[in-house]
Amino acid sequence: MPFITFSHPKGGVGKTTICFNYLIYLQKKNVPFVCIDLDGQNSITHLNSLRELNGLKPFEVLRFDNEKKLISYIEEVDEDKYVIIDSGGFDSLFNRLVLSVSDLIITPLADSPLELLRLIDFDKNIVSDIEKETKHKIKLHILLNKINSSTKQISHIKEQLNSCKHCKFLNSMIRDRVIYKNSLIEAKGVLELKLEKKSDLKAKEELENLFNELKKLL
């Protein structure tokens, strides 16, 4: 029963898009899972409702209105299920709680100064605080996400996080491709689509590489 959380302290980093596509991957692999939607925009919940309206197989998505209910659920959840969490892009008791129980934390990061600065602060203050309070070691697995296709050198991004003791970069990288946005219009994941364009096929390959890497980390 792994707890897998998609988290970043700033919104708009593509966290929910990656999380949603991971749910599609698990569904296609017939892996039992439940998704906990803690994001303030309720994007996973809305996409799931749209899937049902479009005749697509929906997910089991849960929301909680207080921390006690979330704690009770975590303590009683079916051990055979993956628990996938789309956390909010802000500091809250909800988000601190799920980070403290997560077996794997995926943190998407684009080549943006604001995202980098926010992540550095998150690592230094919030994550360190959670570790002290819970005695639970936390590792943020950084996914380079929404990277321009013309960008070849990424060392400058990694160098800026050298001081972040909780951050470790994944080998996988997701480029900024139109298909990731367009697929959500139909509430579909990239892995569900019939693809022909080279860039779309590359998107599928990127996701498969990422999800295979996550599988090895569990």
pLDDT tens digit sequence for 79-136: 899 999 999 876 788 899 999 999 999 999 998 888 999 999 999 999 999 999 999 9
Q: Give the DSSP H/E element, type plus range, for residue 86.
A: strand 82-86
Q: What is the DSSP letter of 68?
A: H
Give the pair of three-digit tokens for residue 72: 């009770």
Are 84 and 36 spatial neighbours (Cβ–Cβ below 8 Å)?
A: yes
d(CA 49, CA 47): 5
Give the Å distances, CA to CA, from 108 to 72, 134, 136, 141, 168: 28, 24, 22, 8, 12
- Total tally of structural domains belonging to the chain: 1
Domain containing residue 34: CATH number: 3.40.50.300
* Higher-scoring residue by pLDDT: 105, 40: 105
> pTM of the predicted model, to two decimals?
0.96
pLDDT tens digit sequence for 173-206: 999 999 999 999 999 999 999 999 999 999 999 9
Rounded to the nearest 10 degrees, what angle do helices 93-101 and 67-76 cross at?
A: 20
* Side chain identity, residue 60: E
Please report the pLDDT score of residue 10 as a whole number: 83
Mean pLDDT within 5-22: 93
Give the Å distances, CA to CA, from 98 to 149, 187, 197: 33, 26, 38
Q: From the centroid of its chain, how far is CA 32?
A: 18
- Domain housing 159: 3-217
Lowest average pLDDT, out of 11-15, 29-33, 69-73, 143-147, goes to 11-15
Q: Which of 98, 92, 31 is nearest to 60 (CA)?
A: 31
Q: Give the DSSP H/E element, type plus range, for residue 61.
A: strand 61-62
Mean pLDDT within 70-84: 94
